[in-house]
Amino acid sequence: MNDVKISAEHVRKYYAETSAHPIRAIEDVNLDVKEGEFVSLLGPSGCGKSTFLFMVGGFERPTSGMCFIDGKPIQGPGADRGIVFQEYALFPWQKVRHNISYGMRIAGKSKVEQDRRVAELIQMTGLQGFEDRYPEHLSGGMKQRVAIARALAYDPQILLMDEPFGALDAQTRSKMISDLISIHQKTRKTTLFVTHNVEEAILLSDKVALFSARPSRIKTVFPIEMPHPRKVTDDGFVKYERQILDSLEEEMWKTEQMDANAAHQQ
């Protein structure tokens, strides 16, 4: 059990819990993520995937139950976790290189160390030639590369990604997926990746954790036993896709029914 990096035990999260109408986002999530694993959190919109990621990030606390890193309860955010959001969250007034080194500057790392690390990350994330641009002069894909480089700057043990490719066009997304696979192969960061895209989840992950409709549980964890690089046309891929899509569609249908009932009651 020593190689379990992140775990969740009976995690429940209700918002507005003291009000007459609490929002029951997560009912009971249990999950073990091993050191170095890439795990996708997949599920219908609004089922609590981001909420779960934020609890692992230390930005939200469970209503009951607990999330752990290396067996220790998560008490708040920390430099052991790098986070990438869908909306880039870059500083528009800083060049690419300074966006990446931001955390290191705050932490008082030497200029030599900052420069060495920034050069390494620029190389790893394919940003060569863009070091001195400002975010407004970058494409969506390039901005997301900067966000990934910035999350890795501290050399965190864990990478948390919240639909990082959700806003990208199909071609850019596909390139970002293959680049993220090679970054993961180089760094072996334990990664939690939120998505509602089945294809993305299968292409990237060691395991896909499928969340049920809200209030959610983890319905099934699918281990994806296929070597990289994976192709959407591989027999194995198509089999996993069918299996996961069937299960996901069931939960999406339940969510739609629930939303329709709620709308009817208003």
Structure tokens at 190: 């334990």
Closer Cβ to ligand ADP, 48 or 164, answer by number: 48
Q: Which of positions 132-161 make contact with ligand ADP (CB under 6 A)?
A: none
For residue 257, state whether it binds ligand ADP (rule: CB under 6 A).
Answer: no
Cβ neighbour number for residue 193 with a 10 Å cutoff: 26
Point out which span in 41-49, 70-78, 82-90, 129-137 binds ligand ADP (CB under 6 A).
41-49
Residue 209's nearest CA partner among 104, 52, 77 is 52
Contact at 8 Å (CB) between 125 and 148?
A: yes
CA atoms within 13 A on the CB side of 68: 18
Structure tokens at 120: 């390494």
Point out which span in 3-11, 40-48, 104-112, 225-233 binds ligand ADP (CB under 6 A).
40-48
For residue 121, state whether it binds ligand ADP (rule: CB under 6 A).
Answer: no
For residue 23, state whether it binds ligand ADP (rule: CB under 6 A).
Answer: yes
Residue count, binding to ligand ADP (CB under 6 A): 12
Closer Cβ to ligand ADP, 176 or 209, answer by number: 209
Give SS3 for 162: strand
Q: Which of 4, 15, 133, 236 binds ligand ADP (CB under 6 A)?
A: 15
- Contact partners, residue 126, CB within 8 Å, separation at least 6: 145, 179
Buried b (16+ CB within 10 A) or exposed e, 138-170: beebbbbbbbbbbbbbbebbbbbbbbbbbebee
For residue 31, state whether it binds ligand ADP (rule: CB under 6 A).
Answer: no
Q: Report, in Å, the least distance between residue 58 CB and ligand ADP.
A: 15
d(CA 197, CA 6): 23
Contact at 8 Å (CB) between 25 and 15?
A: yes
Q: Which of positions 43-102 make contact with ligand ADP (CB under 6 A)?
A: 43, 45-51
Q: Report, in Å, the least distance between residue 93 CB and ligand ADP.
A: 28
Contact at 8 Å (CB) between 157 and 5?
A: yes
Point out which span in 42-50, 62-70, 141-149, 164-172 binds ligand ADP (CB under 6 A).
42-50
Site string for ligand ADP, 209-228 (x = CB under 6 A): -----x--------------
Q: Which residues bind ligand ADP (CB under 6 A)?
A: 15, 23, 25, 43, 45-51, 214
